[in-house]
Amino acid sequence: MAEAAEPVWAEFHDGAASQAFLKERGCDGVDAVKVTMQVVGRGLAEAQRTFFAVPCRSDELAFHNAVMEGLERAQTHSP
């Protein structure tokens, strides 16, 4: 998938275009973050920020935030 996404990044240098390209091809979640790391040459944290920052990944961001909030609530309520 990284080879297919490289021309998109080379042409646009835009996270939104790259993520839309990946999403259209069914590359989501961890796989999309890994491809972003490879294509853009970024580390995990920066690739995750790119993944979550674009409008086409709003559902994934909402899910991520809900899980993190649940984990935080569970930590504060555990003995």
CA atoms within 13 A on the CB side of 48: 6
pTM (two decimals)? 0.85
Q: pLDDT truncated to tens, each residue of the chain (79 aa)?
A: 999 999 999 999 999 999 999 999 999 999 999 999 999 999 999 999 999 999 999 999 999 999 999 999 998 877 6
> What's the pLDDT score for residue 76?
87
> What's the pLDDT score for residue 26?
97
Instruction: Report the C-alpha gap between 68 and 14 in whole angstroms.
Output: 27
